[in-house]
């Protein structure tokens, strides 16, 4: 069976799993509020869910052992599905919170689905087509989110949120079967001459490029995560724009993400990734500062288009850089998992700091402060070298 056809089951599972974010991001807080979860408890649940995502680093390293990655993916899909089935029937806030953590965007099961799906696709890809293969997978994330967001937005006028949640939970159960339909892993490919030994671990001690890159990713999400919380408040309260515009910009963001991932994968296969990293970070800086100075809807819409472009690039090139630099074709689980904890730590740090200083600064000044943080992250990329890949030209 060809690599393309063997990936279809994984694509199907990934698409359905990520599509749940189309309900989780805009509707799950409202649904939990209907079940009696307070704002403080909701924030705590989200923070715990994000912190559990750090566990994907040791699990990602363990998944690099032969035959382990797919069982971990399958187990993660099953845990997410079971959590979705239990949540509507949970009567205790403590039990409800535990299962919401497992079902959430950054909880450990869905984080593993995100990172290890990419690792599996990268391992199966033909030499020189790793970027195209990964971008072909990542395109299903915005596609699924857009589909479910639009569908749930339309159905929410006719159905209760609990009915919609049950619909999304059933989708998570169906996602399990895609992975079961995948063909058996291909026999081990011949190792490239320039590829690191599969027995080598990532060199954490005194590895300055790695730490520069981790710092850059943490600062990226320190800047980006708080904007997801305060964007709608800024638009509605300070700019007096109707909240329906916020939903429109969310779709616009996802469409930009959807459009950009395939070209970015193509570029990453043919040219060094370092210039793409700089472009990704600079786009986030531009988006943040544009929103900070915006007074009109068209500039906000333009900034959200830049946001989707930057996030779409990040979803492809960061994982590729870590794998090409330290992983190798069969050791991609641990390098992919580096990106997730960096996202979680940066997001937690940014949200924590913004909760203390956001009200004092005001929304506009907060955006300017976040933009400055991302500029620091961009400067960290100066310590990040080009990946050594013979299939790419040198700049």
Q: What local confidence, expressed as pLDDT, does residue 185 receive?
A: 57
Distance of CA 365 to the CA centre of its chain: 27
CA distance 76 to 80: 6
CA distance 321 to 388: 10
Q: Assess whether 26 and 81 both reside in one domain.
A: yes
Quote the pTM value: 0.75
Q: What local confidence, expressed as pLDDT, does residue 106 receive?
A: 79
CA distance 393 to 395: 7
In a domain? residue 189: no
Structure tokens at 240: 């007096």
Residue matched to tokens 């544009």: 290
Q: Assess whether 262 and 156 both reside in one domain.
A: no
Q: How does residue 16 score in pLDDT terms, banded at 50, 70 and 90? A: very high
Q: How does residue 199 score in pLDDT terms, banded at 50, 70 and 90? A: very low
Total residues belonging to the chain: 395
- Return the CA Rg of the chain: 20
* Domain count for the chain: 2
- Looking up residue 359, the CATH number of its domain turns out to be 1.20.1250.20
Instruction: Express each pLDDT in 255-272 by its tens digit.
Output: 999 999 989 988 988 888
End-of-domain residue from the set 113, 148, 183: 183
Nearest to 343 by CA among 307, 371, 369, 311: 311
Q: Assess whether 177 and 93 both reside in one domain.
A: yes
In a domain? residue 196: no
CA distance 364 to 344: 25
Q: Assess whether 107 and 248 both reside in one domain.
A: no
CA distance 331 to 124: 12
Q: Which domain holds residue 152?
A: 1-183
Nearest to 120 by CA among 137, 145, 107, 132: 137
Q: What local confidence, expressed as pLDDT, does residue 39 receive?
A: 64
Q: Where are the alpha helices (DSSP H) in the chain?
A: 3-19, 21-24, 28-34, 39-52, 56-62, 69-86, 93-103, 108-124, 130-138, 140-155, 161-180, 208-233, 244-270, 274-293, 297-322, 333-361, 363-380
Average pLDDT value for the chain: 83
In a domain? residue 10: yes
In a domain? residue 100: yes
Distance of CA 27 to the CA centre of its chain: 18
CA distance 145 to 247: 12
Q: Assess whether 238 and 375 both reside in one domain.
A: yes
Q: Assess whether 286 and 326 both reside in one domain.
A: yes
Q: Assess whether 13 and 67 both reside in one domain.
A: yes
CA distance 74 to 55: 17
Angle between helices 333-361 and 297-322 (to 10 degrees): 150
In a domain? residue 395: no
Q: How does residue 333 score in pLDDT terms, banded at 50, 70 and 90? A: low
Q: Angle at Cα 274 formed by Cα 273 and Cα 276, nearest 5°? A: 65
Q: Assess whether 257 and 171 both reside in one domain.
A: no
Residue matched to tokens 């974010």: 21
Most confident of the ranges 113-127, 220-234, 364-378: 364-378
End-of-domain residue from the set 183, 218, 238: 183
Residue 239 phi, psi dihedral angles, 5° rounding: -95, -10
Q: Assess whether 250 and 374 both reside in one domain.
A: yes
Please report, to the nearest 10 degrees, the dihedral formed by the alpha carbons of residues 108, 206, 214, 390 taken in order: -100
Q: Assess whether 96 and 27 both reside in one domain.
A: yes
Average of pLDDT values for 68-84?
93
Tell me the CB-side half-sphere exposure of residue 304, using CA atoms within 13 A.
22
Q: Assess whether 63 and 93 both reside in one domain.
A: yes
- Whether 324 has a pLDDT exceeding 50, the answer reads yes
In a domain? residue 106: yes
In sequence order, what are the residues at sequence separation of 6 or more whose Cβ sits closer than 8 angstroms to the Cβ of residue 79? 102, 109
Q: Assess whether 161 and 241 both reside in one domain.
A: no
In a domain? residue 41: yes
- Whether 182 has a pLDDT exceeding 90, the answer reads no
Q: How does residue 302 score in pLDDT terms, banded at 50, 70 and 90? A: very high
Longest CA pairwise span in the chain (Å): 60
In a domain? residue 195: no
What 3-state DSSP class applies to 364?
helix
Instruction: Express each pLDDT in 19-64 by its tens digit.
Output: 998 888 777 877 888 888 876 677 678 778 777 877 887 887 788 7
Average of pLDDT values for 322-346?
71
DSSP state of 189: P
Average of pLDDT values for 121-136?
81
End-of-domain residue from the set 183, 212, 244: 183
Please report, to the nearest 10 degrees, the dihedral formed by the alpha carbons of residues 178, 179, 182, 188 taken in order: 160
């Amino acid at each position: 069976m060809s690599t393309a056809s063997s990936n279809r089951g994984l694509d199907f599972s990934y698409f359905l799993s990520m599509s749940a974010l189309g309900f989780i991001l805009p509707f799950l807080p409202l649904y939990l509020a209907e079940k009696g979860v307070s704002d403080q408890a909701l924030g705590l649940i989200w923070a715990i869910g994000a912190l559990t995502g750090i566990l994907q680093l040791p699990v990602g390293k363990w998944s690099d052992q032969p035959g382990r990655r797919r069982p971990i993916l399958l187990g993660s899909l099953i845990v997410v599905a079971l959590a979705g089935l239990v949540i509507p029937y949970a009567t205790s806030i403590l039990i409800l919170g535990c299962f919401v953590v497992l079902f959430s965007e950054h909880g450990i099961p869905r984080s593993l689905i995100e990172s290890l799906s990419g690792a599996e696709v990268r391992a199966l890809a033909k030499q020189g087509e790793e970027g195209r293969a990964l971008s072909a997978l990542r395109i299903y994330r915005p596609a699924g989110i857009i589909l479910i967001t639009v569908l749930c937005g339309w159905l929410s006028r006719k159905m209760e949120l609990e009915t919609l949640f049950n619909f999304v939970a059933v989708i998570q159960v169906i996602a399990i079967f895609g992975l079961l339909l995948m063909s058996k892993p291909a026999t081990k490919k011949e190792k490239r001459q320039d590829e690191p030994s599969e027995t080598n671990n990532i060199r954490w001690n005194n590895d300055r490029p790695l730490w520069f890159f981790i710092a850059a990713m943490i600062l990226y999400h320190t800047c980006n995560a708080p904007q997801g919380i305060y964007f709608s408040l800024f638009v509605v309260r300070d700019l007096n724009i109707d909240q329906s515009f916020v939903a429109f910009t969310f779709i616009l963001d996802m469409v930009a993400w959807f459009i950009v991932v395939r070209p970015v994968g193509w570029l990453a296969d043919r040219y060094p990734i370092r210039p793409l990293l700089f472009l990704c970070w600079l786009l986030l800086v531009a988006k943040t500062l544009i929103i900070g100075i915006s007074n009109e809807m068209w500039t906000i819409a333009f900034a959200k288009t830049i946001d989707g472009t930057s996030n779409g690039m990040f979803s492809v090139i960061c994982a590729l850089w870590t794998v090409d630099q330290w992983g190798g074709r069969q050791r991609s689980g641990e390098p992919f998992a580096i990106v997730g904890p960096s996202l979680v730590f940066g997001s937690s740090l940014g949200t924590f700091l913004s909760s203390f200083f956001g009200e004092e600064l005001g929304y506009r000044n907060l955006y300017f402060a976040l933009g400055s943080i991302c500029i620091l992250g961009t400067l960290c990329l100066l310590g990040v070298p080009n990946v050594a890949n013979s299939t790419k030209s040198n700049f």
